[in-house]
Amino acid sequence: MRLRLNYRRYALPFRAPVRTAHGVWAERTGLIVRLDNEAGRAGYGEVSPIPWFGTETVEETEAALGLLGEWVTPEQLAAVPAKLGCLRFALASACAEKQPVPSSAYLAVAALLPAGRAAVTQIAPNAELGFRTFKWKVGVGDIADELSLLDDVIGELPSGAKLRLDANGAWDRRQAARWLDRAAERPVEFIEQPVAADSRGAEDVLRGLAGDFPTPLALDESLVGASDVDRWLAADWRGIFVIKAALLGDPAPVVARLAAAKADVVFSSALETAVGARAALQIAFAWTGKPRALGFGVWPLFAQGVFDGPFSSPFIRTEDVERLNPEAVWTALN
């Protein structure tokens, strides 16, 4: 069997620049891949790398696609190196003959709160909409200022709601311990990436903190690809795995290994377009383990709405995922 390979590169401005631990991000670059089989069926996939996270770059992906050429076999696609995890994810999506079977009709979504004091006033309007999980970016300002805001933020939560804290690796062990000490006995669902994945002894520090405090820890930047997931599974990590399917290569086998280990998983966006969102959300909906609120409350994200995934709301339904139209994204990039 031969497949015809096409791709279109994109550079899409965000509606508003995205603040990250690595500075301000104004434009999303990536690729949409299209594979046509000999029966004329087209499949689409998205390469949405985050190079400062540790993924390949768009240029590396384009070089690999250039080497593959216009006509490819499934064997050639399977031989794309594992280090091109975002490309392997796109090719797996574009090749998929059948979609994963959903195990839920709808899934809750976490509301994203801005860093600093602005979070406090954003909770009530989101609670009014129906959100019950809130994610607050921390590690952005002074640690004492942020710690002193924690009870104000928690005070605004509706009853039964949970707060996630995402430090994006901003703290050292001592600072992380201060936060974990404060979070104990408060409705903090988990603390995400308290110390940087590339800091010295990070894995031991994360395991040590997880053992010393009751609030669960979540790994995000520590999981750049399937090999990282496998390493933490092998180490019997009992905290949370933040899974950005877009970075995982062919996600099906990795997700199967997570399921077999009864891992605790949060599915999360890599700020992809509707093409990658559709594939990533299908994986989240097929998950049969404990459901946690999705980290997909990111859209509308792009200046042009055709590229967006399902708009942020307290729940995403399977219909919202099925309605996403990869072909419309492809056409819009013409």
User: Where are the extended beta strands (E) located within 170-233?
Assistant: 188-192, 217-219
Least Cβ distance, residue 268 to Mg ion (angstroms) = 7
Amino acid at 81: P
CB of 295 to Mg ion, least distance (A): 7
Looking at 83, 137, 162, 290, which residue is catalytic? 137
Helix (H, G, I), strand (E, B) or coil at 75: helix
Element (H, E) at 174: helix 173-183
Smallest separation, CB 169 to Mg ion (Å) = 9
Closer to Mg ion by CB, 192 or 320: give it.
192
Residue 46 vs 192, nearer CB to Mg ion: 192
Specify whether the CB–CB gap between 123 and 308 falls below 8 A.
Answer: no
Structure tokens at 1: 């069997």
What span, in angstroms and rounded, lies between the C-alpha atoms of 89 and 333?
20
Q: Give the interface with Mg ion as residue ranges (CB under 5 A).
A: 166, 192, 220
Shortest CB 34 distance to Mg ion, Å? 30
Which residue is at the shortest CB distance from Mg ion? 220
Residue 244 appears among annotated catalytic residues: yes
- Residue closer to Mg ion by CB (options 33, 269) is 269
The CB density around residue 274, as the number of other CB atoms within 10 Å, is: 27
Please spell the DSSP secondary structure of 222-235, one letter per residue: T--SHHHHHHHHHT
CB of 31 or CB of 217, closer to Mg ion: 217
- The least distance separating Mg ion from the CB of residue 193, rounded to whole angstroms, comes to 6
Q: Which residue has the tokens 């399937």?
A: 226
Instruction: Give residue 4's Cα distance to chain centre.
Output: 29
The three-state secondary structure class of 240 is strand
65/183 with CB nearer Mg ion: 183
Is residue 162 annotated as part of the catalytic site, yes or no?
no
DSSP secondary structure letter of residue 293: -
Residue with tokens 């792009």: 302
Return the closest-CA partner of residue 83 out of 203, 219, 224. 224
From 83, 98, 162, 244, the catalytic residue: 244
* Cβ-Cβ contacts under 8 Å for 79 (sequence gap 6 or more): none
CB of 198 to Mg ion, least distance (A): 15
As a whole number of angstroms, the distance between CA 57 and CA 9 comes to 12
Q: How far apart (Å, rounded) are the C-alpha atoms in residues 108 and 94?
A: 27
Closer to Mg ion at the Cβ: 76 or 175? 175
Terminal CA-to-CA distance of the chain, rounded, Å?
27
Q: Which residues carry out catalysis?
A: 137, 244
